C-alpha cells in the first residue's frame, strides 16, 4: 500500500468523563481529506448524535486524518486504522499499529452498546431499569467484534465474537465456529479458517487452517519476522506454526513447528544410502532454516517422535541459506 494518509468521519461514543469508548467509521478513505470532507455522511452521522442516560454516554461526530507511517495518536485514530484493515483498504502489516493497545480503553461491550468498565454494576442497574430486562454483557476487552462495525462482502463468519475489528478477510474466506482472527491478521486470498490466527498472521489463497490449529504472531529469535502461510497450505488439526511457510506446504495434524524445532530433512521421501550402501542419518536443522520454503511436508515420525520434513512432489527443499536439502 503506497498511500500513507487516511481519513474518516465517524460517530464516537464518549462517556460523561470525556473518555472515548469506540468510533464507527462507515466509509473510511485513503489519501488526504478533501476540503469539506463528505457533507452527506457528515449530515447522516450528525442526525445520529444522541445521549444515553442509562449508559451515561453520548455520541458525537469526529473527523480524523491519520499519517499511517506514525503510531496512532488517539482512540479515534486507532479505530480508523482498524476500520481500514477490515474494510480491505489496507492489508495486515502495512500500516503502523505500534502502541495501539495503549490507545484503546477496556470497554464493557453490551447489547445496549459500549459502556465504561468503571462502576459497571451501577450501569447494569440503570440498564435494567431503562429496558425492563437484563442487558447482555458480551465481553470486557479493548477490541470489539468486527461484525458490529464492518461486514466485508463475500465472507462467512460463523461466530462474530471470534473475529476482532481490524481483521482482514478476503472475499471467499470462511471462518468456522471455533476459528479466531485477531486484529492485523487474516486472509489475503480465499481461505478456510477453523483455528487461530494471531496478530500479524496472514493466510494466502486456497490455504486451510484446521480445527484447533494455532499460529504464533512472530518468529522467535528473529527480529520483525512474521509467521504467515503462503498459497494452498494446510495446517492440520491441532497443529501449530511458528515460522513463515511458502506455497503448497502441509503441517501434519498435531505437529507444532517453531523456529527452534529440530527437523530431520528427508530428501526423496526417506533416508538415503551413502556411497557404500549404508543408510546414513538424515540432516538435522532448526526449522528456522526452512522459513519461507515451499512444497514442504512437516510430519512426526510415529516410531521416534522426531519431526521430519519432506519435499512434496519430488521437489527439493531449499534452506534459508540457499542450499538444497
Within 10 angstroms of residue 36's Cβ, the number of other Cβ atoms is 7
Residue 268's pLDDT is: 54
Residue 280's pLDDT is: 66
Domain 146-314 has CATH 3.20.20.140: no
- Band (222; pLDDT cuts 50, 70, 90): low
Average pLDDT, the chain: 93
- Mark whether 91 is an active-site residue: no
Provide CATH 2.160.10.10 ranges for the chain: 146-314
Topology adopted by domain 5-105: Alpha-Beta Plaits (3.30.70)
pLDDT tens readout for residues 108-126: 999 999 999 999 999 999 9
Residue 316's pLDDT is: 82
Give the distance, in angstroms, between the CA of residue 9 and the centroid of all CA atoms in the same chain: 24
Residue 225's pLDDT is: 81
DSSP state for residue 72 in the 8-state scheme: P
Of 3, 49, 194, 308, catalytic? 194
pLDDT tens readout for residues 55-90: 999 999 999 999 999 999 999 999 999 999 999 999
Cα gap 325→307, rounded to integer Å: 15
Provide CATH 3.30.70.2010 ranges for the chain: 5-105
Beta pairing, strands 156-157 & 174-175 = parallel
Q: With a cut of 70, say whether residue 1 has pLDDT above it.
A: no
Residue 119's pLDDT is: 95
CA angle 71, 75, 76 (to 5 degrees): 95
pLDDT tens readout for residues 43-58: 999 999 999 999 999 9
Residue 282's pLDDT is: 84
Amino acid at each position: 500500500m503506497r498511500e500513507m494518509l487516511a481519513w474518516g468521519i465517524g460517530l464516537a461514543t464518549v462517556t460523561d468523563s470525556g473518555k472515548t469508548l469506540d468510533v464507527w467509521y462507515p466509509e473510511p478513505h485513503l489519501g488526504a481529506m478533501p476540503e469539506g470532507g463528505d457533507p452527506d455522511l457528515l449530515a447522516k452521522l450528525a442526525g445520529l448524535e444522541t445521549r444515553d442516560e442509562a449508559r451515561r454516554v453520548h455520541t458525537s461526530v469526529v473527523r480524523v486524518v491519520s499519517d499511517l507511517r506514525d503510531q496512532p495518536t488517539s482512540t479515534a485514530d486507532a479505530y480508523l486504522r482498524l476500520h481500514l484493515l477490515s474494510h480491505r483498504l489496507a492489508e495486515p502489516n502495512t500500516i503502523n499499529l505500534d502502541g495501539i493497545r495503549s490507545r484503546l480503553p477496556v470497554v464493557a461491550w453490551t447489547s445496549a452498546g459500549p459502556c465504561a468498565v468503571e462502576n459497571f454494576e451501577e450501569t447494569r442497574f440503570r440498564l435494567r431499569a431503562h429496558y425492563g430486562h437484563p442487558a447482555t454483557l458480551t465481553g470486557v476487552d479493548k477490541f470489539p467484534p468486527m461484525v458490529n462495525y464492518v461486514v466485508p462482502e463475500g465472507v462467512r463468519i460463523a461466530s462474530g465474537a471470534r473475529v476482532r475489528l481490524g481483521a482482514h478477510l478476503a472475499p471467499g474466506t470462511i471462518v468456522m465456529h471455533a476459528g479466531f482472527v485477531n486484529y492485523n491478521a487474516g486472509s489475503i486470498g480465499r481461505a478456510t479458517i477453523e483455528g487461530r490466527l494471531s496478530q500479524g498472521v496472514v493466510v494466502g489463497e486456497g490455504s486451510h487452517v484446521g480445527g484447533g490449529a494455532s499460529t504464533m504472531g512472530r518468529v522467535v529469535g528473529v527480529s520483525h519476522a512474521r509467521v504467515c502461510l503462503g498459497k494452498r497450505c494446510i495446517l492440520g488439526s491441532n497443529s501449530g506454526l511458528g515460522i513463515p511457510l511458502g506455497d503448497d506446504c502441509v503441517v501434519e495434524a498435531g505437529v507444532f513447528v517453531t523456529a527452534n524445532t529440530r527437523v530431520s530433512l528427508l530428501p526423496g521421501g526417506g533416508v538415503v544410502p551413502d556411497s557404500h550402501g549404508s543408510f546414513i542419518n538424515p540432516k538435522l536443522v532448526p526449522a528456522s532454516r526452512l522459513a519461507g520454503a515451499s512444497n514442504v511436508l512437516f510430519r512426526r515420525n510415529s516410531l521416534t517422535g522426531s519431526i521430519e520434513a519432506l519435499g512434496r512432489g519430488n521437489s527439493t527443499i531449499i534452506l534459508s541459506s540457499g542450499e538444497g536439502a
